[in-house]
Structure 1
Amino acid sequence: MNILVTNDDGIFAEGIYKLAKVLSKKHKVFVVAPDRQRSATGHAITMHHPLRTQKMKFFDTDIEAWSVDGTPSDCIKLAIEAILNEKPDLIISGINDGPNLGTDVLYSGTVSAAMEGAIHGIQSMAISMAYTKNIDYNIGAEFASKMVEKFKENSIPENTLLNINIPDCKKNDIGGVKITTLGVRRYKNSFIKRIDPRGQVYYWLGGDIIDEAQNESSDIKCIKDKYISVTPIHYDLTKYDLIETIEKWNIRI
């Protein structure tokens, strides 16, 4: 298969290197990724200044790679529409440093890059390590390789992607794989107020995750129980079961 790989941690991140190197053993791999850290950029695209690309030597591999001074979504759009000579069969975004679970997928550059692939009608998936430290990217890379084989045998709807998270544990402690739904993640004390040397107020966005009860089928519960989470998500955000109710409001101009 021809596989396009990207991420939001930047082209020099360990996760994208481990992923692309493993996949290149059996497949033709191309890397188009941000030139620096672009986490939590969501589905932002660059419109008000030109995008610059550079052909890169990708670590110790012969994989063709380009860096882009834009967002993860920019990378996918550029790769498909301008850089690559052929349309990829599969797009993989990752391997992300940290989880992309529940409602956090709305902020995730990793997931948004895969979503951009789905918008272009290409089979796509995002993969993240739900680790806090000492990440073993080899586990994620090996699982991604197995998922590629599944994509060769099966397909998902064009408007859909698979969001995969690997639990924070050793490979032998992983309980298995569960197909999940998106949970809900909320935070408290999200902004930390500080004073700079000039006496000006500034804020750091951070905060602690609120430990909320989760549905048994949620990706958050799955990861907590040390299972690999595979969540099918799509970009049609329409709340279909509410349409009839809103129609009854009899809205007029």
Structure 2
Amino acid sequence: MHILIANDDGYLAPGLQALVDACQGLGTIDVFAPERNASGTSNSLTLHQPLTVHTAANGFRFVTGTPSDSVHLALTSGLIAKPDLVLSGINNGANMGDDTLYSGTVAAATEGYLFGIPSIAFSLTDKGWAHLDVAARVARRVVEAVLAKPPAQGHFLLNVNIPADAKAESAPWRTTRLGRRHASFPAIAQTNPRGEPIYWIGPAGEARDVGEGTDFEATRQGFVSITPLQVDMTHHAALPQWQTWVGQQQ
């Protein structure tokens, strides 16, 4: 077994080290992670400037780019052999609902999935690394489970959110769908030292769809949320009406 581990909080993040430590003994582990925190960078690739890869004292490779850059380089640069599994995390905070569209943690796993490799993203529901050791043990159990009995479709993309709770190791797992958030809060306007206006993106909005079966609902009840994701963004249910509409335009 050959495992590639990445994240979006940067190669020095406690969550990355915890995930690497948790996976010891499962096989050969390579780490490619961003040099700096790259939260919210989604699936972006750096196309207009070169990237460099450095090796830290602990053997982790860090990349001057995004989480997707890190996994992409690992899979295409020839620096390592193709892995059997891509893991991302453990993220400092939840990645649920609409968060998954922006998440660098999910993006790193998605990059592996796009290359046909089973991939899993792991996140703690709260920021601050509380009970990270427990979350790491949960992540190990999830990895062991998919290795022991992988799903029939072969490669997959999972988004796992683990409650920041001392009891999470014994918490049941729930298969969930993504919930939804309200639009984010307004941008925060400030002034830089030269008197010019600057803006900070506002905080994420409150959860809106937190109903039965959602990741929000599962983690609120103390369950480990496991959401299978896909990349196909086609609105399949709307295809017939758009086919009719296009036909009317001819």
Distance 2:248 2:109 in 1: 37
Question: Does 2:156 correspond to 1:167?
Answer: no
Is the deviation greater in 215-224 or in 157-166? 157-166
* Partners of 2:117 and 2:156 within 8 A in 1: no
Question: 1:87, CA displacement in angstroms?
Answer: 1.1
Q: Label 1:194 to 1:182 Cα distance change in 2 as closer, same or farther (>3 A).
A: same
CA RMSD of superposed structures (Å) = 1.9
Alignment of 1:71-220 (within 5 A): 71-156=66-151, 157=153, 160-171=156-167, 175-207=171-203, 209-220=205-216
Question: What does residue 70 of structure 1 align with?
Answer: 65
Is the deviation greater in 111-120 or in 127-136? 127-136
SS at match of 2:37: coil
Is the deviation greater in 42-51 or in 64-73? 64-73
Question: 1:198, CA displacement in angstroms?
Answer: 2.1
Question: Does 2:225 correspond to 1:229?
Answer: yes
Distance 2:129 2:144 in 1: 28
Distance 1:35 1:134 in 2: 19
Q: Label 1:172 to 1:43 Cα distance change in 2 as closer, same or farther (>3 A).
A: closer
The one-letter code of the counterpart of 2:112 is G
Is the deviation greater in 149-158 or in 112-121? 149-158
Distance 1:119 1:172 in 2: 30
Question: Does 2:51 correspond to 1:51?
Answer: yes
Work out the number of aligned pairs and report it: 248
Question: 1:171, CA displacement in angstroms?
Answer: 2.1
Distance 2:186 2:2 in 1: 41
Q: TM-score, normalised by structure 1?
A: 0.91
Distance 1:18 1:132 in 2: 15
Distance 1:210 1:142 in 2: 29
The one-letter code of the counterpart of 1:98 is G
Query: Identity across aligned pairs (percent)?
Result: 35
The one-letter code of the counterpart of 2:123 is S
Question: 1:211, CA displacement in angstroms?
Answer: 4.3
Distance 1:245 1:145 in 2: 45
Is the deviation greater in 187-196 or in 110-119? 187-196
Moved over 6 A (4+): none
1:24-77 CA-to-partner distances (Å, cap 9, x unmatched) read 23321110100111000000001001110012222xxxxx42110011111111
Is the deviation greater in 205-214 or in 108-117? 205-214
Distance 1:229 1:87 in 2: 28
Distance 2:32 2:169 in 1: 33
Question: 1:138, CA displacement in angstroms?
Answer: 1.2
Q: Label 1:101 to 1:143 Cα distance change in 2 as closer, same or farther (>3 A).
A: same
SS at match of 1:57: coil
Q: Can you give the 5+ residue segments of structure 1 that lack an aligned partner in the other structure?
A: 59-63
